[in-house]
């Protein structure tokens, strides 16, 4: 029987060719982050740099077709942001804070990943947070069409 991870990896390879998404399903790839971003996006670069400084191995894949990447990993339109990343089989959509990424990798919840929709000011990669910084980190549900849950609130 083909596992869901192997099936998804095969679909990604077929659709995206040589720059296919890889979804490792084991802890040894835990610190590898593949970041899909627009070639010209500075805030995406800043987010990736912050993860790199925190000890992650960030592999940047520049693409002009982020919509296709988001479709392939199942990011709902209402939770989309400017970049998409993959870490240890989880999707990270947008400016997800480091503490949320680390918590997810430690707790291993049964979710598709995390999303910070849009580009909230003060989020990781979007300038320095201040007393007005407020945004929500959502858990991406595994079941298409399911309502996303609040994973973490920042500044609330």
**Cα–Cα distance measured from residue 97 to residue 99, given in angstroms and rounded to the nearest whole number:** 6
Which structural domain range is residue 135 located in? 24-154
Q: How many domains does the chain have?
A: 1
pLDDT greater than 90 at residue 13: no
Whether 133 and 121 have beta carbons less than 8 Å apart is answered as yes
Read off the pTM: 0.78
Residue 66, CA atoms < 13 Å, CB-side half-sphere: 21
Tens of pLDDT, residues 35-45: 998 888 878 78
6 in any annotated domain: no
Query: Is 103 inside a domain boundary?
Result: yes
pLDDT tens digits, residue range 70-80? Answer: 999 999 999 99
Q: Which residues pair with 150 in a beta bridge?
A: 138
| 105 in a structural domain | yes
């Amino acid at each position: 029987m083909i596992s869901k991870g192997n099936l998804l990896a095969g679909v990604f390879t077929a659709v995206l060719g040589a720059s296919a998404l890889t979804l490792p399903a084991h802890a040894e790839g835990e610190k590898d982050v593949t970041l899909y971003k627009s070639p010209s996006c500075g805030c995406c670069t800043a987010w990736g740099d912050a993860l790199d400084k925190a000890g992650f191995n960030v592999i940047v894949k520049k693409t002009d077709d982020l919509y296709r990447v988001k479709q392939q990993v199942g990011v709902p339109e209402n939770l989309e942001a400017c970049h998409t990343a993959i870490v240890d089989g989880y999707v990270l959509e947008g400016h997800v804070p480091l503490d949320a990424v680390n918590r997810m990798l430690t707790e291993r919840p049964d979710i598709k990943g995390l999303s910070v929709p849009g580009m909230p000011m003060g989020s990781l990669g979007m300038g320095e947070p201040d007393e007005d910084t407020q945004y929500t980190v959502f858990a991406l549900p595994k079941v298409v069409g399911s309502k996303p849950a609040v994973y973490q609130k920042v500044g609330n």
